[in-house]
Structures are given as C-alpha cells and as structure tokens.
Amino acid sequence: MRTVLKSGVAAGVLTMALAVSGCVTVIESGAQGTPAEETPAPMAEAAKTEINAVWPKLKDAGLVDAVVEAQIDAIMAEMTIEEKVGQVVQGDISTVKPEDLRKYPLGSILAGGNSSPGGNERATPQQWLDLADAYWRASLDYPSKRKIPLLFGIDAVHGHSNLVGAIVFPHNVGLGATRNPDLMKRIGEVTAYEMSLAGVDWTFAPTVAVSRDKRWGRAYESYSENPADVAAYAGKVVEGLQGADGGDNGVKPGHIMASAKHFLGDGGTLNGKDQGDALISEEELANVHNAGYPPSIEAGVLSVMASFSSWNGEKLTGSHYLLTDVLKDRMGFDGFVVSDWNAQAQVPGCTKVSCPSAFNAGIDMFMAPDSWKGIYENTLAQVKSGEIPMARLDDAVRRILRAKIKGGLFTLGAPKDRAIAGHWENLGKPEHRAVARQAVRESLVLLKNNGSLLPIRGGANVLVVGDGADNIGKQSGGWTITWQGTGNANTDFPNGQSIFGGISDAVKASGGTATLSVDGTYKTKPDVAIVVVGEEPYAEFQGDRQSLDYQSGERKDLALIKSLKKAGIPVVTVFLSGRPLWVNPEINASDAFVAAWLPGTEGGGVADVLIGDKAGKARHDFKGRLSFSWPKTAAQQPLNVGTPGYDPQFAYGFGLTYANKGDLLPLPEESGLKDAGVVNVDTYFTAGRVRAPWGFFLADPKGATGGDGALTSPQGFVTQTVVDAGAQEAGRLLTFTGQGKGEAYFGGTIVDLTRQSAGELAVALTYRLDAAPKGPVMLALGRDRFVYQEMDIAGLLTADGQFHTVKIRLNCYAAIGLRMTQIGMPFALKSEAPLKLTYTSVKLASNEGDAVCPK
C-alpha cells in the first residue's frame, strides 16, 4: 500500500497515528499577512520566482512515464490548434448539446449542481447513462485525425448524490468524527463504483479544505479544523476513488478520476466568507491549508481544482506563484488544474469569456459552464496572437491528455459499452449500504447523556418528533439530488431510510412501538421522545452565516423540546447540522444530546447506536469524536484547537461513550451576540414572520408605511392583512385597490448579491391567486424603491386558488443593468390594477430547473 504521509510533509502537520488517536497538537504560525494591493496579471513569460521553503517537495507519484508520454507526443503531433484549445475548455450539459461537440472539440463536460438530463433533477439512472453516452459518441464525431474521448465530471462529494437511488454518505464534517481513514478509502471505492454504473469518469472530490471558521457555508465539506486529520484522510479517499495505484498504473474499471479541491486556503477566508480572502501568512497557508494536497498528490490524484477564493488579495485562479511555482514545480504535481465554476470572471482584468491571465498563471482547464463558447473562441485568438504562449497551451493539453490516458478514457470505450455500466441491480446494493451505515454509526458524537438515558430500551414506547425525523433530504444536506439539496422527498431516495424509519425498525424488532409525530403531539404518553431537528439543506455561499447561533430569536425547536419535558417525557435530541452551532439552550432542555451531522441516506445507523436490545443493552457504542471544536457562544469564531485563547464548550476530540458518566451541568445561555437580528441576506418572509434584518413596507405616491402584519399604504392604494395559510397567521393577503400604483416591498441594509446572482439563485415567491391579474404585476429589485429594475411577472402567475411558487432568476435583473452589489430592496411587488395575492414565503432559492426570466 502506498504511504501517503511522511515526516516533514509540512510543519504543523502531524502523523496519521496522532491524528487518528485524537492526541493532536496543532503547531502553526499566528502571523497575519498584510492584504496585498491589486495584483497585476502575470506576464506571459513569468520570471523565475523564489519559492518559500515552507512548501514541501514530494516523491514522484508516477503520473509521468515514457510509454504514456510517447502516446501523448503522437497525439499532439496531429492535433490542430483548434483541437488543443478545445481540450482546455469544459462546458456544462445545460448549455452544451451533443451536437455542439461535432463543431467544437471540447475536452470535457460537467453536470453542475442543478444540471441534469432534460433539466429533470430526478431523472432515472438510465437517462443519466444515456446522456453520458450521447455526449461521448458525439465528441468522437468531430472531424480530426485523432479521436480524443470526452471527459465527464460531476460533484459526487458524498456519494454519487446526483443520481436517484445512489448511496448518499455522511458529509465530510461527520466523516471527520469517525477517525477512521480506512473507512474513507472504502467510501471512495463505493462512490467510484456507483459513478461507473452511470458512465461518469470524474468526480470533483475530495474536498481537502481545512475549515477554520465554521460560519463558512462549505464547512461541512471539510473533515476537520485540524490539518493532521485532513492529511490522514485525503490520500485514502483518492486511493478509494482512483484505485491504490491509479495515478501510477492507471485507473481500472470500477474506479474514476479524482480532483483534490479547492487549492488553496478556501477554509481560511476572513469571517468564513465563501469565495472570500484568506488574510494569512504563507507559513499558515502551507502548514495548515495545504495539508491535504501532499498526500493526495502522492496518492496519484489526476486533477486539482483551483479555489474561487483569494490569498491576501490575489485570486487563486490567477496566482502563478501558487498554481505553477508551488503546486506544479515545487510539489511536482503532474496532473491538470481545473478552475471552478466561471471563476475566471473574478480574476482582475478578466471576464467569464476571456481570461488569458488565469491560463498563463497555471489553469489548464476552464470550467466555463455557460461561457464555454466565448472562452473557446477568445482563448484560440489569444494563442494565435501569442498572448498565450504555445508552450503554455501544449503543457496544459499534455497534462489533460495524461490524465485521460491514466484515467482509462482511451480504453474504456463509450459509457454504454463498459462492462460495469447500466447494471442497476448493483445500485445501492446491500454491502455498499452497509459501508454507509457504518459511517453513520461511527460519526455520531454523544455530547450529553444525563441519567444514562441512552441507550433506549428496545421494547419502549418511543415518540419520534421533529421536522428532521422522517426527512431523508434534510438528513442528507446540500449537494443531494440538487445543488442546494432542497425540495427533496423521501421518494427521491428509493435505497435510503429516514432516521425515523431506522428507529421504527429497531424498536419494533424488540417488541416496542415507535410513533412519528412531527409536532410532538401524542395520544398515549411515551416512555421517551427522540427529537430530530437541525439545519435546513444549503450549499456554498448560501450556507454562510454571520454567527453560529442555531435559531436566533424564536427558537421553535427549543419550544418543542420544552413542551415534551414539561409533560414529564425524557428527551433525546438528535441534532442535524453541517457544523457545530451554539445550541446551549437546546442542550440544557434535553436529557441527552447527539451531534448527528448530515448522515445521508442510511438513517438506520442512528438507531443502531441509540436503540438498545430488549434489555436495554447497547447494540453499538458511540465512537465519534469532535473534529471541530464546539463553541461556547454564538460569536466564538474562529475557534481552533491549539490556538491562543482556546476555550470551547466541547473541545476538539470530545465525545462520550456508554462507558462514560454522561451527566452535564447546565450550560450558560448567553449567546454573546450584540445583535441577534442580523442573521441573513436571503430570507425575507417565512412562517408568518418578516425575517431580520429586513423590514416590510407598503408604499404609494405619498410615501411608505412599515410594519409586520396588518398595514395600509399612505393613500390606501395597497393594504395587507394577516391570514391563515397552512398554519395560523402564516400568510399575508395583499390587496391592490387599482386606484393607483401600490408597492409591497422588503427593505434594509445594502447587501451584495453578486455571488447569489452568479450562482443562479432566484427570488422565490410562494403565493395564491383566486383571480387572474388584470394588468402588469411588476417584480422589482434594487438599491431602494427609487433605484431599481423591474419585470412583469403577471404571465407567470397561476390563478387557481392553490399555492404555487414562482422563481425569477437574479441574473435576469443583472442582465438588464441592476447592480447586484447594491441591493437594499431584494423584493418589491407592484401593481396599478386591482389584484389580491396571498403569500407565505419570500426568499432566495436554488434554481432547480424551475427558475425563469420573464419574457
């Protein structure tokens, strides 16, 4: 077996043995770098740069060998410039059609988080295989002397989670708690196998970020705050995905290409902002955030994805020093570097259709989902003009061809012709589900067990409560079926089981009863209640938080727990989250508290540990240990083991077992927040409440009136009343009288929605109309009610007395000139004609193929 850790990989990265045991001390530089001035684009021929010795030199991973290089020489000798440029461009299946590949010799396609066959996120496995096959065959129809197979990539970050029926593993935040590197390899193997069934060649995984601020929306994609843990896992995951010698001797059938990401420092940005800036020293960048790359490279990873983020003011996608001098030259990475989703547009001096500076800096393949044609045409022109040197293009093409050959693309054949592909009886097969169930069991961390309430006697009368109890989508989190992981039903997981399903099976097997009651009501008083609650699914910047307070203001889950306790029912809380959050009040109100993270589709793994046998004896013990420090207050970030002033509520490495006395004294309930209302930029009205920091207003030519509930504009052109809608007072009825222009809008502090616009998020309005609009209904966004852009959505509204959700893409407004950096009015509805509209939700939501631009 290949050794992936060695002495001296990087100062501050400890040995695997220490990382796994939990006896870890992190040594790192505390120095802060000074934000750089705007960095000029690299010159086409960069001068030789002195590389800081803090970066490790790695042993050869075997990607370069004489036979493969000779094969590459022969291929490149017959390639035109057009064909070479095509290899460095990747488009998304939502904008690239198979017939396009007969004209444009693209090297790769991807299916982004919300891209799917025919725009159907719940397409069948066979439709996914058909899609992969159609693109592959079309790519070989391009008129060329050499037929170069197309590379198909997808974000399979916790199993092949885009595919209905595939196994969804716990997210990395939970896997980090298992302290089991060998299990990571097995998870990689199962993921690769299920991807191979669908004819997919490449996953954008593993994420080897070291998350140092848990407010980051991608914290759950990180294994640990400790670089030693990430180093211990990274190489193992690569070996599982590609095979133990995939980089050296080639990826074999049943395995796929891996991509370590996001290089570099994405987990260290200021305030945990996604796509933000890591204002840290080079020593900290190397010793902490680079920890996962040496073992990945030595395990033979064939690609690395560059980060959206910046280091001291310089975008990583445009950093010649880090991409070329450090990654390729110093660390000897011989695979190729792919950019993130249109990341080139964030490099100074670039647009999403033109960025020679990023390519010259070391990007080998542009991920240009909707910009592929412009990138192709401009890059071709830049090579012909000499702005991009031919040597740089040839180096990028060589690296891509090397990965394609090592990845097996030249020998596998078309997706439908591969021996493994299409055998759907092997999708979610029992032995693979058992691996996921083991991962769930070992990831659970017991924080409290007063009076040894756990394990629960199997023959008990158990009430299972909360909106996460029978909700496989919620327990799986983001990057599940869709990008944000929202809108999923249990039927979307035919090979999965909810947490309630697992508890019910375990309790019934021992002669007990399990009753599901989301709201906590019951007919017969139970022996114990298991409350399953937690974060709603999110991905990337949509998960960024300003604090770690779980439920600011109205703590509805706390009220649920307390209502059960008041009735004299012992309560076990199972908390679903992508990071540690401040839940001291919820912990105090519970008799036992379990951090279950985002366990994926094997909810039975939770029951394996919580539910004992008929006599109450444990069937499985808790093994999970915190790989992220648990905060004492909601404002306690960043919080990392080994740093000055370290004072967590539960320390890194903490986790009770049944052998421990689990009683916990009451925890302090001061959140530490000065302004608990500042919590979101994307949710404006839900559950019958206007969400802080936003305010609601009705306006007409005489001015505006603000408030929440019953309101009337100054001239009475528009009114609002409180109505029941699914729940008591959960809706608002807007009545536009038709006497003149009336406006209903949410306003507040100026926010920047650039990332949300680029990420194809949409304004989502859940509404009911009993009668069709009699005139235009304008949906406006802007700085305020005086500076805005608007579109008529009347034609998109359905008037049938039922509730519907209409989604309007933010980038529709950007396209007509709205400055997305200056949004103080994220939603305004206007009408001059009579209109009655009831709404229950106004927020930003993921485009799951159902968001549009009004015509």
Q: Where are the alpha helices (DSSP H) in 583-670?
A: 584-589, 604-610
Contact criterion met (CB below 8 Å) for 633 and 639: no
**Coil vs helix vs strand at 660:** coil
CB 337 within 8 A of CB 263: yes
Report the distance separating Cα 294 and Cα 330, nearest Å: 11
Q: How far is CA 394 from the centre of its chain?
A: 33
Which residue, 705, 630, 693, is CA-closest to 664?
630
One-letter amino acid at 556 equals K
As beta bridge partners, residue 291 has none
- Sequence-ordered list of residues with C-beta below 8 angstroms from that of 521, at least 6 positions apart, any chain: none
| Cα separations in angstroms, 256 against 70, 98, 489 | 23, 22, 29
Distance from C-alpha of 583 to C-alpha of 550, rounded to nearest angstrom: 6
CB atoms within 10 A of CB 702: 12
Strand-pairing partners, residue 805, are 766
Contacts of 312-315 with C-beta under 8 Å, sequence gap 24+, read 312/33, 312/34, 312/35, 312/36, 312/277, 312/278, 312/279, 312/280, 313/35, 313/36, 313/37, 313/38, 313/39, 313/277, 314/36, 314/39, 315/343, 315/346, 315/347, 315/348
Q: Which residues pair with 513 in a beta bridge?
A: 461
**Helical axes 390-406 vs 66-77, angle rounded to 10°:** 120
Distance CA 644, CA 571 (A): 36
Q: Where are the beta strands (DSSP E) in 386-527?
A: 445-449, 461-465, 513-517
Tokens 């659970």 correspond to what residue? 444
User: CA of 215: how far to CAs of 224, 592, 637, 738, 753, in Å?
Assistant: 14, 25, 8, 46, 18
Active site residue 608: no
Cβ-contact 398, 75 below 8 angstroms: no
DSSP class of residue 631 equals P
The 8-class DSSP code of residue 541 comes to G
- Select which of 540, 586, 608, 682 is catalytic: 540
Q: How far apart are CA 254 and CA 82, in angstroms?
A: 33
Q: Which of 155, 189, 340, 370 is catalytic?
A: 340
For 299, list phi and psi in degrees, rounded to 5. Answer: -80, -5
- Residue 16 in tokens: 């695997």
Q: What are phi and psi of 384, to 5 degrees?
A: -65, -30
Alpha helices per DSSP H over 66-204: 66-77, 81-87, 125-139, 172-178, 181-197
Quickly count helices (H) and strands (E) in the chain.
Answer: 23, 32
Beta bridge partners, 829, equal 744, 779
Is 340 a residue of the active site?
yes
Rounded Cα distance between 183 and 175, Å, is: 9
- For 661, residues 6+ apart whose C-beta sits below 8 A from its C-beta are none
Please state the separation of Cα 175 from the chain's center in Å. Answer: 15
H, E, C per residue of 725-761: CCCCCCEEEEEECCCCCEEEEEECCCECCHHHHHCCC
* Three-class DSSP category at 209: coil
State the Cα–Cα distance between residues 86 and 470, nearest whole angstrom: 47
Distance CA 534, CA 577 (A): 6
Task: Please tell me the distance from the alpha carbon of residue 316 to that of residue 799, in angstroms, as a whole number.
Answer: 49
By the 8 A CB rule, do 530 and 473 touch? no
Cα–Cα distance list, 499 to 503, 508, 516 (Å): 6, 14, 11
Beta-bridged to residue 809, according to DSSP, are: 762
Active site residues: 340, 540
